[in-house]
Structure 1
Amino acid sequence: MFEFLQKKINETIDITDQEFEHAKTLFIPKKLRKRRFLLQDGDPCIYTCFVEKGLLRSFRIDDKGNEHILQFGMQGWWVADLYSFLTGESSEYNIEALEDSELLLITKPSWDLLLKEVPAFERYFRILIQNNLIATQNRLMRNMTLTAEERYSKLIREFPDIIQRVPQHMIASYIGVTRETLSRLRGQISHQ
C-alpha cells in the first residue's frame, strides 16, 4: 500500500529505502468508504492524510447553509486542515470521501517525529507547503480575475476526469458559482 507514497515522495526528494521503511512505521493505513468523514467541523484535525486511492473533498458550510469546497484531494495528494493539524484547535472544515478511498494517515506527534528523525522529510513537507501556498494564491487570483467560464474551463483542462468523478453541484461550489450558472456555462461551452 505504500508504493505510491514512496513514488510521490521520490518525485520531490531523494530518500533511502531505510528512511522510507522507518517512515512507513509512523503511518496508519485507513480505508474510508464513500460519503464517510475523515474530519468534521468542530473536531480537531488529528491527521494529515495521503490519498493512495480515491477522492476526498474538504469543505465548509456557511451560516446560510451554503457549501464552499476548498479542495478536492485526488490520488497522490495530501489533505488536511493544516491550521487545525498544526495548532490542535478545532477545525472549521469537513473532509469527506467522494469515492471509496485508501488513505495513509499520520498524526501530529508522528509527523513531528518523522521530521526530526528523517530530515529529508522536513524538506519534502516544506516543498509541499510552499506548493500549496502558491496553488492557493493562484486559485484566489483566478477567482478574483477570471470569469466563471474561464474558471470552469481551467478546472476541466487541469483535471479532465473531474466531471465524471464529482457531482456538478460540487464543481459549482468549487469554482464559486451556482448550479444554474454552471449548467448554463456547460451549455455554452458544448455549443462552441
Structure 2
Amino acid sequence: MRKLIVPAFVTLDGVIQSPGNPDEDTANGFTHGGWFWPYADEATDAMEELFRHPFELLLGRRTYDVFAGFWPNVAPDSPLRGTADLFNRTTKHVATHRPGALDWDHSRNLGTDVVAAVRALKHIDGPDLLTQGSSELVQQLLATDLVDELILIVVPILLGTGKRLFDERAQPTAFRLVSSTTSSKGNVVTRYVRAGEVPNASV
C-alpha cells in the first residue's frame, strides 16, 4: 500500500497559507503571503528530496488552480524548470466540486466522495501520494486517519491569522519522530511517521 505524505511549510502558530507568494492565496483577507522566502535556505532540501522519488499529487482545487496557472508556464531556463517538469508529468488527483474540465495535463477529479477516492488510491499500486498546500483537503485527510507521514518545515514566525495545518477535526494519532534538523536561518525540519493510536497513561 502506498503512503500518503503531507509535506508543509508551517509557521510556529500552524499557518500554512500562501508561503510562496503574496498573491498565492489571499482568502479571508490574508496579507502575509510570501512569508517563507525571507527564511529560505537549505531547509528546502527536504522537499527536493521528496521529488527525487516517484510521486503523484493530491491537491485541493484552490492549490490546483494556482499550480495549473504557474508550473506549465515556467521558462526553460528557470531554476524551477526541473520541478516544473516533474509536476507537469505526474498525475494530479484533485478534490473539487466545481464543474468543468481540469485542463492541466494528467489531472483527475477525485469525485464527490474524496475520502473514499483517496482511500482507494492508497490501495492501488503506485508511487506515494504527496499533498501540496491544500489546507482544507489536508484537514479532511487528517480527520479520516489517512495520513501516513508528515514532513514539516517549521519557520520561526507567528502570523496570528491564516489557514492552519491542523484543526479540531484531526483524528487522535500518535506519530514517531524520524528526523529533526535545524537550518542556518532557524527553520526546524522534522519528519514524523504514524505510530498507531495515542497512548494513555496515569501518573
TM range (shorter): under 0.3
Scaled by the length of structure 2, the TM-score of the pair is 0.25
Computing the radius of gyration over CA atoms, which structure comes out larger, 1 or 2?
A: 1
Q: Which has the higher helix share?
A: 1
Scaled by the length of structure 1, the TM-score of the pair is 0.27
Determine which structure has greater relative contact order: mean sequence separation of CA pairs < 8 Å that are 6+ residues apart, divided by chain length. 2
